[in-house]
Amino acid sequence: MKDTITRTLAGYRQTFAAFAPGQKVIAIIGTAALLLGGFMVFRWASTPSYSPLFSNLSASDASAVVQELDATGVPYELADGGNTVMVPKDAVYQARIDLAGEGLPSDSGDAGGYSLLDGQSLMTSDRQEAITIKRAIEGELETTIEQIDGVDTAVVHLAVPEKVPFTDAQDPTTASVLVAPQAGTTLTASQVQAIVHLVASGVDGLDPANVTVADSAGQVLSNDDGSGSDATSRDQEVEAVRNDLQHRLQAMLDRVVGVGNSTVEVTPVLDFAKSVTETTRYTPDDENPVVSSSEASETYTGPDAGAASGAGGVVGPDGQMDSGSTTTVGDNSYVKKQTTADRAVGSEVVRSETAPGGIKTLSVGVVLDSATTKAISTADIRNLVADTIGIDEKRGDTMSVVTMPFDRTAEAAAAKEIEAAKAADATGARNDLIRKAGLGGVLLLILLLAMLKGRRRAKQREQATTYVVEQLRQETAARQSIEGPGSTLALEQAERSQEDGVRDELNALIERQPEDVAALLRGWLTERS
C-alpha cells in the first residue's frame, strides 16, 4: 500500500514537473479554488440554521437575554437593530424554557397598552383612572401603527377634554401622531390616511379632521380635512386629470388631422374643498294631514226689521262687525257657524356632500400645422374639442384653437439619426457575423491541426515502441541461443513481462517528452544506418 502511494505521488510529481509554466499556474489556481469551494461548502453545511427566539424586545430585556445565553453557552445572533435575538433552530424551545425559568423577558410588550389597567386599585381617583385609560389607549394605538409596513416607531398623544354637563358646546377630542419611517422608506398618502382613520376609529368622539400625523423630520403628512393627502398627492391627481384629457384630445386630433400635425395642452384647475349643503323644504298645508279640528255655531233671534234701527251688521266678540259669517233672516235673526282645522307642519331635509377633486375650470390650447391642415376649419375643431371634454364657458373654461407652421427640423434630424443608427446596426451585425465566421474557421483550423499532430504523435509513439520491442526480442533470441533450450519457457515469460513494462514506460515517456524521444530515435536510426 505504501509503495503504491509512493509511486502515485511520484507520478503526480513527474507529471507536474513536465507541465509548462502556464499549465502549472492553472493547476495551482484550480487546486486552490477546489479546496476553497470544498471548505465553503463544509462550513455552510456545518453552520446551524438560526430562528427567532424573541422579537420586539426592549433594551433591558435584550441585554438580560444575551447575558443569560452567554452564561449557558448557547450561540446567538442579533437582528432588527438588536430587538430580535436569533438562536439555532434546534435550541429555540429549550432556550425559551430556560429563560422563562429566569423570568425573561420581563417587560417586553408590557410597557404600555391595556396592561396599565392591571395595577388599578380601589383607591384610584377618577382623574387618575381617566389618565391611565388615555395612556392605555395611546399605547395600543402605537402598537397597532407600528405594524404598518414602513413604520419603525410611532408615538400617539390624545387630548381628551373633560365633559361639561348641561351644555351642548363640548371641546372636540384631538390627536397627534408622530411616526418614524424605516430607513430608506417613505409613507404613502394611503398609509397616512390609514393611520388617521385607525386613530379616529379607536377613540370615541374623535373626528378624522382632528388627527395630525407628522414624521420625524417635522413634516406634516396629514391634511386639515383628515384625508391624509398632501400637496404631492394633489399634484399627482391634477397631473392624472391633465394627462387623461390631453391624451383623449390628442388621440382624436391624430385621427382627424394626422399624427404630428397637431398639439394639445390642457390645464385643469381642481376644487379640493369639501362642502356639505343642507336644504330644508316645508310641504304645503293642503298636503299635510289634519291633526285636530273644531266647529262652533251661533243662532240669534231678534225683533222684526220695522222695529229695528238702521244699523246693518252684527257686533262681534271684539266689538267689530262680522258680516261674512252671519246669515240674516226676515225677522232680523242670524245663524253663525265657524270651523277650525289644525294641520301638521311637514318638512324635508336634503343633505348633499361634494367630494374634493372635482374640475373647477379648464383651459385648453390647440395648435394645428398650417402646412397640412389648410382644408380643416378651426371652428369645427373648436366645437369638436368643446364637446369632447365638456367645455363650459359659464364655469369659466377657456379654449383657443390656432393654426401656424410647425418647426420640423427636430423631426428631420431625428429621422436622419434613426437612419444612421439603422445603418450602423446593419454594419455592426454584418461585421459581427464576419468576425464570428472567422473565429469559427480559426477554431476549426486549430482542431484540424491538433488532430493531425495527435495522429503524428501516435504514429511516432507506435514506431518507437515497435522498434524498441523488436530490439528487445532480438536480444532475447540471442541470449536464448547462448543459454540453450532449457530456459525457453522462463525466457518467454520474462520477455512478455519485460515487454509489457517497457511498453508502458515508453508510452508514459513519449507522453511527457515527445520531442526528446523523437530526437533519440533519430539518433538511433542514424547509428544503425
Backbone phi and psi for residue 405, each to the nearest 5 degrees, phi listed first: -70, 140
Q: What pLDDT score does 178 carry?
A: 93
Non-local CB neighbours of 10 within 8 Å, separated by 6+ positions:
none
What nine digits make up the cell of 421? 443608427
Indicate the DSSP class of residue 163: P
Query: What's the whole-model pTM score?
Result: 0.39
**What SS3 class is residue 111?**
coil
> Between the CA of residue 22 and those of 16, 35, 248, 322, what are the distances in Å?
11, 20, 68, 138
Distance of alpha carbon 282 from alpha carbon 81, whole angstroms: 67
Torsion of CA 353, 358, 360, 365, to 10 degrees: -170
Distance of alpha carbon 475 from alpha carbon 467, whole angstroms: 12
Give the count of beta carbons closer than 10 Å to the beta carbon of residue 38.
10
Residue 332 clears pLDDT 50, i.e. is over it:
yes
**pLDDT tens sequence across 46-76:** 777 888 888 777 777 888 888 889 988 888 8
Give which of 325, 328, 335 is closest to 308, Cα–Cα.
328
* Contact yes or no for 177/203 (Cβ under 8 A): no
* Helices (H) then strands (E): counts for the chain: 11, 14
CB-based burial of residue 23 (10 Å sphere; 0-12 exposed, 13-18 middle, 19+ buried)? Answer: exposed
Summary mean pLDDT of the chain? 78
DSSP 162-194: PPPTT-S--PPEEEEEEEEEPTT----HHHHHH
Q: Strands, E, within 370-446: which ranges? A: 398-404
Q: What pLDDT score does 32 carry?
A: 85
Average pLDDT of the segment spanning 317-342: 60
Q: What pLDDT score does 488 carry?
A: 53
Residue 1 clears pLDDT 70, i.e. is over it:
no
Selection from 131-140, 331-340, 472-481 with the highest mean pLDDT: 131-140
Indicate the DSSP class of residue 170: -
Q: What pLDDT score does 306 carry?
A: 47
Give the count of beta carbons closer than 10 Å to the beta carbon of residue 76.
17
**pLDDT above 90 as % of the chain:** 15
Q: What pLDDT score does 304 carry?
A: 53
Residue 493 banded pLDDT, cuts 50, 70, 90: low
More confident residue, 520 or 217: 217
Block residue for cell numbers 433594551: 59
